[in-house]
A and B are shown apart, each in its own frame.
Chain A
Amino acid sequence: MNIIFYLAAAVAIVATLLVVTRLNAVHALLYLIVSLLAVAVVFYTLGAPFVAALEVIIYAGAIMVLFVFVIMMLNLGPQATETERGWAEPELWFGPALLCGVLLGEVIYLILRMPTGTTLARVGTPEQVGVALYGPYLLGVELASLLLLAGLVGAYHLGRRAPHEEPGGGV
């Protein structure tokens, strides 16, 4: 199980690096899906299969399809890629990257000295999570559903074309 975790974590980090560095939005999106799938594997190795399934179904499935559709509708050309290229200059990156590297080294040093936790009981099957969701956490489920409803209404309202606006018009 350990080697699976390390491999999946490495894949997640590399894929996420590529999300940041790919200039083309579609390429970045594909790497983002890889990264989310790798994190789902990490969840599974940690003993949370329900969360792993949610990650694949909702994140890598539904949300990413939304992104794909929007990128398709935006119809970004090569000129958008050129705009991003200006931000990849090494001299722009060196100073901040060095400083953040120092901070990262400190964080690594600190957490490696942290005492590790205890091992676990077998909790976290989908059944147990479901029982918990509709028992003590019912309010949370209701709040989540309200939030989703608000998101739905908001997205519909924002995406609606105003009646006076001519189709395809820009400023």
Chain B
Amino acid sequence: MVPFAWIILVSILLFALGAIALITRRNAVAALMGVELMLNAANLNFVAAWRYYYPDHLDAQVAVLLVITIAAAEAAVGLAIILNLYRRFGTVDLDQIRLMRG
């Protein structure tokens, strides 16, 4: 059995890398990928906690299902917003998009 700490460590690393992607990437699509990575790391955390501490309850798996649902809805709306930005500004570079009104 893998020590719990290693799984949490993997989860932390994935979350941190997702946050780095979200903060540093200037491409809006890549920033959205960072958000997906962070949600995914949260999923890993849920499953690890379920497996090691609450193996008799299925709460974590249901929570993972909800997180995946949120990720899907977020990706759909976020990508629609990015397409709108591209239509208005002709770029998805987050540094060049400065005005809320097109």
Secondary structure at chain A's binding surface: helix, strand, loop or mixed? helix
Least Cβ–Cβ distance between A95 and chain B, in angstroms: 14
B32 to chain A, nearest CB (A): 8
Please report the C-alpha to C-alpha distance between residue A13 and residue B50 in the assembled complex, in whole angstroms: 22
**Interchain CA distance A150-B81 in the complex, whole Å:** 15
Complex alpha-carbon distance, A40 and B59, angstroms: 19
User: What chain B residues lie within 8 Å of A171 (beta carbons)?
Assistant: 88-90, 102
Contact B51–A70 (Cβ < 8 Å): no
Residues of B within 8 A of A156 (CB): 80
Tell me if A17 and B17 are in contact (CB < 8 A).
Answer: yes
Residue pair B33, A9 in contact (C-beta under 8 Å): no
Seen from chain A, the residues whose Cβ lies within 8 Å of a Cβ on chain B are 1-2, 5-6, 9, 12-13, 16-17, 19-20, 25, 28-29, 32, 35-36, 39, 42-43, 45-48, 50-51, 54-55, 58-59, 62-63, 66-67, 70-71, 73-74, 76, 80, 83-84, 87, 100, 104, 107-108, 111-112, 114, 116-121, 123-124, 128-129, 132-133, 137, 140, 143-144, 147-148, 150-152, 154-156, 158-159, 161, 165, 169-171
Q: Assuming A2-B1, A170-B90, what are 20 further A-B pairs, CB within 8 angstroms?
A: A13-B10, A19-B33, A35-B37, A42-B44, A46-B7, A47-B51, A48-B47, A54-B64, A67-B32, A74-B82, A107-B12, A120-B55, A123-B58, A124-B58, A143-B66, A147-B70, A151-B77, A155-B77, A159-B84, A170-B87
